[in-house]
Chain A
């Protein structure tokens, strides 16, 4: 197959609409006779709802008012557990929990009305920390507040301590992080018993929303239709949350008989929707005198917030990545996702891996120090190689070369020269410079048997004009889905990129290709697109209308002929797992992922001792990703992920007060601006993955995993201070530097 488009930076499929402002996001869609909707939410973290009062001065008879009692089906958001209600009925379990919905044609009046609704509550004791949850200061879920627990065992950790010459312990913490897509969440809904429910919205997974609305309305699947509008960023924040806002818009539509639009403002979006799970990781690591890992005991805990949502899956990924890209014969990971009275935490790029990898990559620098090895030498002695097993016992088949990646990353970042220069220049300098790095991996696709369970389907359909439409539920959210699918299909069919049309993800029209998450869209779904495209061509060839080697004109003529004489020209492909993959759900062992992308990131920082501010001054991101599908899009993914991770490491602090995010404004939740982000230099290596399209691996989340540890390792190199939590704000650095200075006196 000629690679005319694959591997080249073709124009973004929907680029023109985006640069001219013509792309239609959900708030750009207007319909006649549409109502607006708002959500009345709890101001307390936990309690019983005693009553709802509607204040004076509002023409309530003009409003549509919805409470839990109006839900036609089950009051729950179907996801994994069924513990999260769509609207709180009797109890409140987190601040900003939705209780009452209001709709009215006047967007301004709605705000007055929202203010005028009083929820009478009887507060109950609430808990806000992992420690309080583990201690059962209040029991929110089950008998022990544990949403999910994993015990992963490899080898015999308890016996292995005896082989260790040195044992190093450390505790590492990461805070919550807001996805902060620049387009706030929004939905438009129509809903009635006859026609069913139709949703337009900002979302990543139309079939997740579909699945949640079925039991909410007690309607058959065919009566629910979910359509994705242009979506202004997701990063996981629009993976599961949209089911809630879609349900709300639909309930108002159902009761009012009118179309309803709900658009969150930024403050509401920040305080009420999901964030990255805060984490606490405790490492206890045994190494020999010459720096070989013999035992790793890892305790990994996530704060899940008030409802289970996706915490079990986030926990799973974190667990599997907890030991980093190293070989250790004896590993224990005890992982728990705990319930607290914060708004439920959820999917955010990386999905547990950034938390786990921050901890292990910080810890490994400490372990290296304890055995008098440089951070790089220690890692070299322990990197995973072909033929070794991961902590789930997965055999590494590919010829992974982390040593080679490390060499190259050091070369590109001028690591040794800089480290030496900084060490020489730092004494007496007000601004201390440092360089640090992290080595890591990210498993692409759903964990274990997840992809088999998803059973993704893609369809392709040829038109009489000789164009080919791709029908998939995979959404374009900026990462380049439309472009990548078009490249793949065009090459497979041997026709022009411009002849590929991507159908709007609409559950009424496209099959379920699975959610747009888990770095799976290019690798897993892209592979299905390729197969389906090849099948279209095969069908034409088998029908005698086309030769294998054909021109585009011949293809176009063959399509027309086929459709005229035989009817629709379609192909449908369903996911089949690569051969030889084996996963045991009960033992949590085996092949966790079809493949991993591998990376070494190097961060250069400057720490100002006058203001205690750290900033990243240069960044090198090197990764092995199978095959680069589109150089500009691939680099764009890495650059964007690194920028988000710089935010996570240094700037993005959620200030919690009684379980509520107190800094829910862009003024006070600090995302890096163009003035804060350094040059990010991206490099790729390619060892093709046999089961990805043209060898490509998934890369969307990888760049989130490494930067935080690289940056904090660099801060340690610059200043000697050992920070074990992020964000490493100037206040944190000041306290650590003061403590260190005090200790020296």
Chain B
């Protein structure tokens, strides 16, 4: 068997809180979030950066956490699905998903909400084409995407916070 390396200490901010964990340098950020930090809202759908179920915001930009090695999360500011609502006050995207039926089985939903929040940060009033392009990295097998598009459009109309705001 191959020789092994030691776990290293990784410090970052997650959902506004400073966190420090021990992890192997090439451990996936996805696993660090789910296993070390017990933040199971972020999901594994494919392990190859295709489905977007593992999407989180890292320093304000959407990334697939299954493709980020733990050591590169050092010093970053991470927002997961658990950090999108403010306590019990849902983000406008989440409200809109509920209103429009954007979630069916729900497994793609955390990544899809993250992608929608990231999209609205970039394009506060996205066109149809911008919505499709912005969400093309998040696969949904249940909805056929129609009500997810509706939810994004609806989110623009709701008064709640849509983007990241301040942590």
User: CA of A644 to CA of B97 in the docked complex: distance in angstroms?
Assistant: 21
Measured CB to CB, the closest approach of chain A to B78, in angstroms, equals 14
**Interface digits, B66-87 against A, CB 8 Å rule (1 contact, 0 not)?**
0000000000000011101100
Measured CB to CB, the closest approach of chain B to A205, in angstroms, equals 16
Instruction: Contact check, B98 vs A679: say whether CB atoms are below 8 A apart.
Output: no
User: CA of A639 to CA of B101 in the docked complex: distance in angstroms?
Assistant: 12
With a cutoff of 8 Å between Cβ atoms, the chain A residues found around residue B101 in the complex are: 9, 12, 632-633, 635-636
B103 within 8 A of partner (CB):
yes
A606 within 8 A of partner (CB):
no
Q: Which residues from 247 to 277 on chain A have a C-beta closer than 8 Å to any C-beta of chain B?
A: 265-267
A61 within 8 A of partner (CB):
no
Instruction: Contact check, A21 vs B46: say whether CB atoms are below 8 A apart.
Output: no
Q: Quick one: which of B90, B105, B135, B141 contacts A671, CB cutoff 8 A?
A: B141
Q: With CB as the reference atom, state the residue of chain A lying closest to B40.
A: A28
Chain A interface secondary structure, helix, strand, loop or mixed? loop
Q: Which residues from 1 to 55 on chain A have a C-beta closer than 8 Å to any C-beta of chain B?
A: 9, 11-12, 14-25, 27-28, 30
Q: Quick one: which of B48, B51, B94 contacts A182, CB cutoff 8 A?
A: B51
Measured CB to CB, the closest approach of chain A to B146, in angstroms, equals 4
Instruction: Contact check, A19 vs B104: say whether CB atoms are below 8 A apart.
Output: no
A-B CB contacts (within 8 Å), total count: 168
Measured CB to CB, the closest approach of chain A to B149, in angstroms, equals 8
User: CA of A679 to CA of B94 in the docked complex: distance in angstroms?
Assistant: 22
User: CA of A671 to CA of B90 in the docked complex: distance in angstroms?
Assistant: 31
Query: Interface with B: A230-238, A320-328, A516-524, A567-575, which one?
Result: A230-238
Instruction: Contact check, B82 vs A112: say whether CB atoms are below 8 A apart.
Output: no
Q: Sort chain B's interface into a size bin.
A: 35 or more
With a cutoff of 8 Å between Cβ atoms, the chain A residues found around residue B146 in the complex are: 635-636, 639, 677, 679-680
Q: Which residues from 25 to 69 on chain B have a C-beta closer than 8 Å to any C-beta of chain A?
A: 34, 38, 40-48, 50-51, 53
Q: Quick one: which of A11, A640, A671 contacts B104, CB cutoff 8 A?
A: A640
Instruction: Contact check, A232 vs B107: say whether CB atoms are below 8 A apart.
Output: yes
B136 within 8 A of partner (CB):
yes
User: CA of A479 to CA of B84 in the docked complex: distance in angstroms?
Assistant: 25
**Interface digits, B117-136 against A, CB 8 Å rule (1 contact, 0 not)?**
00000000000000111011
Measured CB to CB, the closest approach of chain B to A700, in angstroms, equals 11
**Interface digits, A436-451 against B, CB 8 Å rule (1 contact, 0 not)?**
0000000000000000
Measured CB to CB, the closest approach of chain B to A42, in angstroms, equals 23
A182 with B41: in contact, given A666-B46, A674-B148 (CB under 8 Å)? Answer: no
Q: Quick one: which of A23, A57, A233, A667 contacts B141, CB cutoff 8 A?
A: A233
User: CA of A11 to CA of B98 in the docked complex: distance in angstroms?
Assistant: 7
Q: Quick one: which of A25, A58, A640, A674 contacts B142, CB cutoff 8 A?
A: A640
A403 within 8 A of partner (CB):
no
With a cutoff of 8 Å between Cβ atoms, the chain B residues found around residue A666 in the complex are: 45-46, 48, 50-51, 139
Q: With CB as the reference atom, state the residue of chain A lying closest to B149.
A: A674
A181 within 8 A of partner (CB):
yes
Interface centre among B103, B105, B107, B138 (most CB of A within 10 A): B105
Instruction: Contact check, A182 vs B141: say whether CB atoms are below 8 A apart.
Output: yes
Instruction: Contact check, A19 vs B145: say whether CB atoms are below 8 A apart.
Output: no
User: CA of A643 to CA of B44 in the docked complex: distance in angstroms?
Assistant: 22
A673 with B139: in contact, given A18-B106, A182-B108, A232-B105 (CB under 8 Å)? Answer: yes
B100 within 8 A of partner (CB):
yes
Instruction: Contact check, B90 vs A19: say whether CB atoms are below 8 A apart.
Output: yes
Q: Which residues from 624 to 641 on chain A have a C-beta closer than 8 Å to any C-beta of chain B?
A: 632-633, 635-636, 639-641
A642 within 8 A of partner (CB):
yes
A180 with B90: in contact, given A9-B101, A632-B147, A674-B148 (CB under 8 Å)? Answer: no
Instruction: Contact check, A25 vs B145: say whether CB atoms are below 8 A apart.
Output: no
With a cutoff of 8 Å between Cβ atoms, the chain A residues found around residue B94 in the complex are: 19-20
Instruction: Contact check, B98 vs A12: say whether CB atoms are below 8 A apart.
Output: yes
With a cutoff of 8 Å between Cβ atoms, the chain B residues found around residue A675 in the complex are: 132-133, 136
Instruction: Contact check, B98 vs A182: say whether CB atoms are below 8 A apart.
Output: no
Measured CB to CB, the closest approach of chain A to B66, in angstroms, equals 10
**Interface digits, A677-702 against B, CB 8 Å rule (1 contact, 0 not)?**
10110000000000000000000000
Instruction: Contact check, B103 vs A266: say whether CB atoms are below 8 A apart.
Output: no
Measured CB to CB, the closest approach of chain B to A115, in angstroms, equals 10
Q: With CB as the reference atom, state the residue of chain A lying closest to B4.
A: A108
Q: Quick one: which of B46, B110, B144 contacts A640, CB cutoff 8 A?
A: B144
Instruction: Contact check, A21 vs B82: say whether CB atoms are below 8 A apart.
Output: yes
Instruction: Contact check, A184 vs B103: say whether CB atoms are below 8 A apart.
Output: no
With a cutoff of 8 Å between Cβ atoms, the chain A residues found around residue B51 in the complex are: 182, 666
Instruction: Contact check, A233 vs B132: say whether CB atoms are below 8 A apart.
Output: no
Q: With CB as the reference atom, state the residue of chain A lying closest to B31.
A: A107
B143 within 8 A of partner (CB):
yes
User: CA of A674 to CA of B133 in the docked complex: distance in angstroms?
Assistant: 7
A478 within 8 A of partner (CB):
yes
Instruction: Contact check, B53 vs A12: say whether CB atoms are below 8 A apart.
Output: no
A183 within 8 A of partner (CB):
yes
Instruction: Contact check, B147 vs A636: say whether CB atoms are below 8 A apart.
Output: yes
User: CA of A644 to CA of B138 in the docked complex: distance in angstroms?
Assistant: 15
A183 with B147: in contact, given A20-B41, A21-B41 (CB under 8 Å)? Answer: no
Question: Top 6 closest A-B pairs, CB basis?
Answer: A21-B41, A232-B107, A478-B105, A18-B106, A643-B144, A478-B104
30 contacts between A and B (CB under 8 A): A12-B103, A16-B98, A19-B97, A19-B106, A20-B81, A20-B82, A21-B82, A25-B43, A181-B105, A181-B141, A182-B105, A183-B45, A184-B45, A232-B108, A233-B105, A266-B45, A266-B47, A479-B104, A480-B104, A635-B101, A636-B101, A636-B144, A640-B143, A642-B144, A643-B143, A666-B51, A666-B139, A675-B136, A679-B146, A680-B144
- Residues of A that sit less than 8 Å from B by CB: 9, 11-12, 14-25, 27-28, 30, 57-58, 112, 179-184, 230-235, 265-267, 477-480, 632-633, 635-636, 639-644, 665-667, 671, 673-675, 677, 679-680
- A20-B85, A480-B104, A632-B101 provided; 12 other pairs, C-beta below 8 A? A24-B40, A27-B34, A28-B34, A182-B45, A182-B141, A231-B105, A233-B104, A265-B44, A636-B104, A643-B145, A666-B51, A666-B139
